[in-house]
């Protein structure tokens, strides 16, 4: 095994099995079979370390200047038993899928928490999404959850993969601070009704109330539907409260991630005011 002057494993070929394995994690089927995903960038990896997560493997560009935070990540990864791999900017580009890659890429175990293991009392706010398709929206919702102190994000039915490179990138590190769980709708409703919790759905249907009116007792579960179709009728009917936001322009709805942020801050405000 070739090593550089610092004693780190040195890989200079994109055909190396270690690189091919890491690169394969850009595809969902390989992430699922390996239980691993990629995160890139000094900021995201530093956020992960501060949240208590270190990579199993850390790849860095040997031909770029070092950064103090990068050195801390390298030291912490080695101390935790992880492997540090020195490689080239060109190989990092192949791993990230970007022409101008970040200087660090980490390989992490996935962070799914079984629904039954979630502690609903751990936070006053939880975000729930149904059939979300856009990785940018999902990553943004994770950032919102982190910002409002939410317990996590529950993915209902067939959502975009929370561990895709695009979602991880959009989360800006919030992926490592939020619990993530997946469930089919019947299982989620059964779990929710087994304990306290108010399910709040956003809707344009008749019978909704202005989103500023409810009290939102903790824990409140904010349910956001698919970007194009919204929530199915029977999902809306299962909500304890259905709310709408006033739309004064020609658009009849907000972007799903924007709606989630507006709702999350409204719930936070009402809960803090009592």
pLDDT score recorded for residue 274: 76
pLDDT score recorded for residue 65: 65
CATH number, domain containing residue 235: 3.40.1280.10
Within-domain flag for 4: no
77, 109, 141: which is the final residue of a domain?
Answer: 109
* Mean predicted confidence (pLDDT) in 4-28: 93
Whether residues 132 and 245 fall in one domain? yes
pLDDT score recorded for residue 44: 95
Got the DSSP string for 91-134? HHHHHHT-SS--SEEEEEE--B--GGG--GGG-SEEEEEES---
DSSP state of 256: H
Overall pTM surpassing 0.75 (yes/no): yes
pLDDT range class, residue 271, cuts 50, 70, 90:
very high
Within-domain flag for 3: no
Q: What is the mean pLDDT of the chain?
A: 93
94, 109, 124: which is the final residue of a domain?
Answer: 109
Task: Report the share of the chain in percent with pLDDT over 90.
Answer: 81
* Residue 204 pLDDT greater than 80, yes or no: no
* Mean predicted confidence (pLDDT) in 222-240: 92
pLDDT range class, residue 102, cuts 50, 70, 90:
confident
Strand bridging mode 198-202 / 241-244:
parallel
* Mean predicted confidence (pLDDT) in 244-268: 87
Q: Which token pair is 253? A: 């709805």
Task: Quote the CA–CA distance of 238 and 230 in Å, as a whole number.
Answer: 14
Whether residues 15 and 130 fall in one domain? no
Within-domain flag for 32: yes
Whether residues 83 and 97 fall in one domain? yes
Whether residues 146 and 262 fall in one domain? yes
Whether residues 27 and 62 fall in one domain? yes
Within-domain flag for 49: yes
Q: How many CA atoms lie within 13 A of 176 on its CB side?
A: 23
Could you read off the pLDDT of 131-167 as tens digits, one per residue? 999 999 999 999 999 999 999 999 999 999 999 999 9
Whether residues 131 and 256 fall in one domain? yes
pLDDT score recorded for residue 242: 95
pLDDT range class, residue 130, cuts 50, 70, 90:
very high
CATH number, domain containing residue 31: 3.30.1330.30
Whether residues 104 and 151 fall in one domain? no
Whether residues 163 and 183 fall in one domain? yes
pLDDT score recorded for residue 139: 97
* Residue 252 pLDDT greater than 70, yes or no: no
Within-domain flag for 92: yes
Q: Collapsing DSSP states into helix, strand and coil, what is residue 14?
A: coil
Comparison of pLDDT for 230 and 52, the residue scoring more: 52
Within-domain flag for 88: yes
Comparison of pLDDT for 209 and 229, the residue scoring more: 209
* Mean predicted confidence (pLDDT) in 21-49: 95
Within-domain flag for 1: no
pLDDT score recorded for residue 91: 92
Whether residues 33 and 156 fall in one domain? no
Q: Angle 82-88-90 (CA atoms, 0-180°, nearest 5)?
A: 125
* Residue 63 pLDDT greater than 80, yes or no: no
- DSSP bridge partners of 183: 156
* Residue 186 pLDDT greater than 80, yes or no: yes
Task: Quote the CA–CA distance of 75 and 73 in Å, as a whole number.
Answer: 5
Q: How big, in percent rounded to 5, are the helix, strand and coil portions of the chain?
A: 40, 20, 40
pLDDT score recorded for residue 16: 96
Q: Which token pair is 207? A: 């019978």
Within-domain flag for 223: yes
Whether residues 163 and 199 fall in one domain? yes
* Count: domains in the chain: 2
Domain that holds residue 179: 115-273
* Residue 101 pLDDT greater than 70, yes or no: no
Whether residues 128 and 40 fall in one domain? no
Whether residues 206 and 234 fall in one domain? yes
80, 109, 138: which is the final residue of a domain?
Answer: 109
Task: Quote the CA–CA distance of 199 and 103 in Å, as a whole number.
Answer: 42
């Amino acid at each position: 095994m070739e090593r550089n002057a610092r004693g780190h494993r040195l890989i200079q070929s994109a055909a190396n099995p270690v690189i091919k394995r890491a690169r394969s994690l850009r595809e969902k089927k390989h992430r699922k079979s390996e239980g691993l995903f990629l995160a890139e960038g000094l900021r995201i990896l530093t956020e992960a370390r501060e949240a208590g997560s270190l990579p199993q493997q850390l790849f860095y560009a040997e031909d770029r200047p070092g950064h103090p935070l990068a050195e801390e990540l390298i030291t912490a990864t080695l101390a935790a038993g992880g492997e540090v791999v020195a490689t080239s900017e060109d190989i990092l580009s192949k791993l990230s899928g970007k022409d101008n890659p970040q200087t660090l890429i980490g390989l992490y175990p996935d962070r799914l928490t079984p629904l039954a293991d979630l502690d609903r009392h751990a936070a006053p706010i939880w975000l729930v999404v149904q059939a979300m398709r856009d990785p940018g929206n999902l990553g943004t919702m994770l950032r919102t959850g982190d910002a409002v102190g939410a317990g996590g994000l529950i993915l209902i039915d067939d959502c975009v993969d929370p561990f895709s490179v695009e979602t991880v990138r959009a989360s800006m590190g919030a992926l490592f601070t939020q619990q993530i769980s997946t469930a089919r709708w019947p299982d989620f409703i059964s779990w929710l009704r087994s304990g306290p919790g108010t399910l709040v759905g956003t809707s344009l249907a008749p019978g909704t109330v202005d989103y500023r009116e409810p009290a939102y007792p903790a824990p409140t579960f904010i349910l956001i539907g698919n970007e194009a179709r919204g929530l199915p009728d029977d999902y809306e009917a299962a909500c304890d409260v259905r709310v709408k936001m006033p739309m004064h322009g020609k658009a009849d709805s907000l972007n799903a991630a924007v709606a989630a942020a507006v709702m999350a801050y409204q719930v936070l405000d009402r809960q803090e005011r009592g």
